[in-house]
Amino acid sequence: MNKLLTTSIREVSQKINAGDVGPSDVTKAAIKVASAIKPLNAYITITDKTAKKHAENSDSRQKDCSLLGKLDGIPIAIKDNYCTKGHLTTCASKMLSNFIPTYNATVYQRLKDAGAVLIGKTNLDEFAMGSGTIDSYYGPTKNLWNSDLLSKFYSCNNQMKEYTEQNKNADSWHIAGGSSGGSAVAVIAGSCYAAIGSDTGGSTRNPASYCGLIGLKPTYGLVSRYGLIPLVNSMDVPGILTRNVDDAVLVLNTIAGPDEFDSTCLRKEYVPFDIPDKININNIRIGIPKEYKEKNLSPEVQECWDEISQYLIEDGASLSTVSLPHTNYSIMCYTILNRCDVASNLACYDGMEYGYRSDEWSSVHNMYKKTRSEGFGKIVKERILVGNYFLLNENYEEYYVKAMKIRRLISEDFDAVWNNNIDLLLTPTTLTGAPTYNDFISMDNQAQCLIQDYCTQPANMAGIPALNVPIKLSKSGLPLSLQLMGPPLKEKELLTVAKWIEQRVQFPKLELKDLSLLQ
């Protein structure tokens, strides 16, 4: 069972279908792992009772030979900014620390209808505002790859830097990335086979990069946002975190498609697809954007970029340098649009109808003031204030309108590349491996986002699909990754090349040593 928890959905599904293992057995083992990795703070809520109930339902279907599909009985996790009926949905904020929705987000409902088993709700930066999962009301999430749990519970099927005594220093632990860091750690640790994140500026791909996972941001509108508590309405996309490409395809096939509850969801019927094991990349045209060779790019990530570029050429793909001239403006443009939407979307949290309300107040105005002051964290309050400043009548044209114009130019940059017969783009995902916590907090939240989201954020501005592919471990034993981006609705082409890279590099895979070791 220990090896089964860190394998693919395909493999465990085959064993469930064959009757070799029961869904309840898999679920109990996954819950045990989720409890054992509590020091990493991946979960805000472990939904063990619900998980066991859903697993028992899968047991019955297994017995009756009426399983719902490949996800029936498979443990999953959901980022805690998706509504889940009957379970806390906190957005990692004191403001929603007692909020229990009365309905399910469409993404979760579709997974549930497919028989997936919810193990828990995962940690994030408060209201998904950050790139590290450190600004959470429930505390930061730690990266598994250099934690003391790594050598204690896990082995690796490939070379991996051994855990050293210096890593036991509490100051040296590395971040998991954000804002979907909890989802990433939940998957890489083996407590679930897939997790749902959200991606507004890279919040699925960033933690996938730091944790060594596939992290997919679909085309905007391909997957319903209904029940996803919004950050930036025109950029938020449900994201998928898995250990391999085939699992990401399976989850995408389950959650994608039109939704009557989401007016921003595409009305075009979604056609599920599979990717063959034997892949021919001959004549695929890959673009290398020159603007992504940023000055802060680490030599190790550059080496990965060069290495995969050479592999692609050797197997018949053609590579060419392309230009996305407005890339350098993207983060600042995003900063303005993000704050404006934050100010608008979070205006509803006033203590009147739901969520946190201050206990001591003398007037309605005072209640609003104290509730928002006490209920929101520092980062959220700063973004609300800045957003309201940008939206002032005298500032609207200067900031918001100009930012929207730049966003159009960024989108047109990508269109020009696709129109020039480029199929996909290959870039870094993050500029380095996972930073240490101390290095990360040495800068403020905005400064970190400027660095961490440089390569990921433009895809959200343009609404195009993008994904992270892990490549290898750094000299310090941390994952290094690259990003693929493609034209709208070209998820199949994107995932096909990602699977080819996956097969070519054989990224090290973690395995649980022995479930009996888990406390």
> Residue 169 has what pLDDT?
47
Helix H or strand E segment including 183: helix 181-188
Average pLDDT over residues 79-91: 98
pLDDT(163) > 60: no
pLDDT(372) > 90: yes
Name which of 101-105, 153-157, 376-380, 392-396 the model is least confident about.
153-157
Provide the 8-state DSSP code for 398: I
* Class for the domain spanning 4-281+428-517: alpha beta
Name which of 237-251, 257-271, 317-331, 443-457 the model is least confident about.
443-457
Number of H helices, E strands in the chain: 18, 13
Whether 443 contacts 499, CB under 8 Å: no
Give 87 or 369, the one with higher predicted confidence. Answer: 87
pTM for the structure as a whole: 0.96
pLDDT(166) > 50: no
pLDDT(399) > 90: yes
Burial class (CB in 10 A: 0-12, 13-18, 19+), 448: buried
In this structure, the number of other CB atoms found within 10 A of the CB of residue 234 comes to 15
Rounded-to-integer distance, Cα 205 and Cα 194, Å: 14
3-state DSSP assignment of residue 214: strand
> Residue 362 has what pLDDT?
82
> One-letter amino acid identity for 268?
K
pLDDT(445) > 80: no
> Residue 159 has what pLDDT?
54
Rounded-to-integer distance, Cα 262 and Cα 275, Å: 29
Whether 245 contacts 499, CB under 8 Å: yes
Under the banding of pLDDT at 50, 70 and 90, the label for residue 145 is very high
Provide the 8-state DSSP code for 431: S
pLDDT(504) > 50: yes
pLDDT above 90 coverage of the chain, percent: 86
Give 204 or 155, the one with higher predicted confidence. Answer: 204
Whether 71 contacts 114, CB under 8 Å: yes
Provide the 8-state DSSP code for 269: P
Q: List helix spans (H) across 19-169.
A: 23-36, 48-63, 106-113, 148-153
pLDDT(478) > 70: yes
Rounded-to-integer distance, Cα 432 and Cα 478, Å: 10
Angle 72-500-321 from CA coordinates, rounded to 5°? 130
pLDDT(97) > 60: yes
Cα separation values, 125 from 276, 358, 379, Å: 37, 22, 9
Average pLDDT over residues 295-312: 96
Render the burial of 152-177: b for 16+ CB within 10 Å, e for the rest. ebbbeeeebbebeeebeeeeebbbbb
> Residue 170 has what pLDDT?
45
> Residue 172 has what pLDDT?
74
Active site residues: 79, 179, 203
Give 1 or 269, the one with higher predicted confidence. Answer: 269
- pLDDT tens by residue, 381-398: 999 999 999 999 999 999
DSSP strand pairing (75-79 vs 43-46):
unpaired
> Residue 360 has what pLDDT?
84
Rounded-to-integer distance, Cα 135 and Cα 126, Å: 6
Render the burial of 82-94: b for 16+ CB within 10 Å, e for the rest. bbbbebbbbbbbb
Average pLDDT over residues 327-336: 95
Instruction: Please confirm whether the linkage preceding 224 is cis (ω < 30° from 0).
Output: no
Whether 227 contacts 103, CB under 8 Å: yes
What is the full DSSP assignment across 338-354? HHHHHHHHGGG-SSSSS
Rounded-to-integer distance, Cα 500 and Cα 153, Å: 30
> Residue 441 has what pLDDT?
85
- pLDDT tens by residue, 29-64: 999 999 999 999 999 999 999 999 999 999 999 999
